A and B are shown apart, each in its own frame.
Chain A
Amino acid sequence: MNAVFNLHETFRDDFSYRNSPRAIRRFPLPFPEDSYMYSVNIEPHLPGPPGAVTEFAFDVDEHYVAECRERAIVLAAEPLRYQALPHMMSSQWDCLELIMESLARDYPAHFSLAKQGNSWHWINRPLQIDQRFTFGDTTTLPHEPLDYITRQAQGDFVVMDQREGDLWAEAGMVTTQADWSLDFDLGMTFKEWHGPVPLAHELGVFDRALKFLLNLRLGQPVRRLNWTMTIHPRLDTSPENYPHWGQDRATVTPQNAGDLVHLRVELQGLWRLPRSNAIVFGIRCYLISLRELATVPKWARRVHRVLRDLHPALVDYKGLTRYRDAAVAWLAPFDDGAPTTPGTAPE
């Protein structure tokens, strides 16, 4: 896709972020049926149909330029949103290579990459970047390699080193997160940084997921969807900034929920990295207001039912407790009780 970018939209202050009708139709709804519970919903990250968010390794959409600007704003205020431990340098170069090669291959109108041995030339037209550098030589880039390339990518990235039969979160760029902190989790093992998730430990989800990921193969990335909800189209719902956004949850009413409450979906991708044998975990955030969502009748019915019947522990964990009833009330008029077709397609 050669996206037309929403150059001036914002994810803070006046919250001018909007989805075009096309962006709504391609929204990755995470509910294949009318109810929701955890599962190890991992599938191969194979190319999806043209126009889908899974068409390419990394989706570049109409929000690309605005999201990169939002990331720069967060980093300027809080530099520790990007961190990498010293032994992660080879994985940083792996990530830079993966993202640059993917974007240049999949969006040639926007990005290009030319290589002569270790002399690389990277062009990012939407952000007006033209960079020559030496692959493997950090002094030839303005930032560390992972920092550099993820300033030019949508979504958060965590790089996990593999050792002792575990995965350790030891580098990352995290500015668009659903209430978790890289600064807090850096250096943790897989189960430690998933510690707060309710029910899933008891279901054995993390045992199975870890075992699966330890054997993740080069060239065979996988993906899954996760979701929560956010008030306003706010990308940066970090614990560090809780005072700025936590109170928003008390402002939702059945009247304004359609505009304030957003479904927040993460397209999570996992790639084995070749030089470092590390794994990069990409967490790409998509936001859609209930009003935008309700333009698709099937989705309005389904999300109404999912929210109405959600397990209480998940309501609390996802932070929906204060406004779930208002959101359900706003969606109720769209649910005539008709059955929904299986799968997530908008019909």
Chain B
Amino acid sequence: MRCGRAEKLIDRYVDGRLPEEMAREVALHESSCARCAARIGAARGLTGALAEEPILRAPNGFVDRVMDSVYREALTSARQAAGSEERNSALHRIYRRLGLSVMLSAAVLTASLIVPRAFYPLPTAAVAAGFSRDRPSLVKDALGGAGRAVSETLRSIGGGEK
């Protein structure tokens, strides 16, 4: 094995991650090459120094502290969900009332457009046809006209009013 090849394998060799056969080759090279042996020694030294770092532990009471915040979070979420539901319900009530109001307004508007037409001023064409402007309503005109027509008819057939 050449030094260049060995150098690339040193870390995996030190970590024990090389296939057995390849590890044997590196070991053989290590025993015959002082330069690579020094490199491997340095790699082992570094790995050892890094591995000496202590394992850190969470302080006592950490679980309780975390769970306090988790429960607060759960409570806040539940309140928000309840608030949201309440808001939705209130909105629903508002929309329902609004809908009813709109429907009622539409009904009133429709009625006000259709029913009072009888009380509107007469159109010019109607006046020209014999209806009078000073008569207060179409219905009244119609009723008056109908009365007159009935009287004339009765007169023409020899009966009715004298």
* Bind each other: no
Give the interface of A toward B (CB within 8 A): none
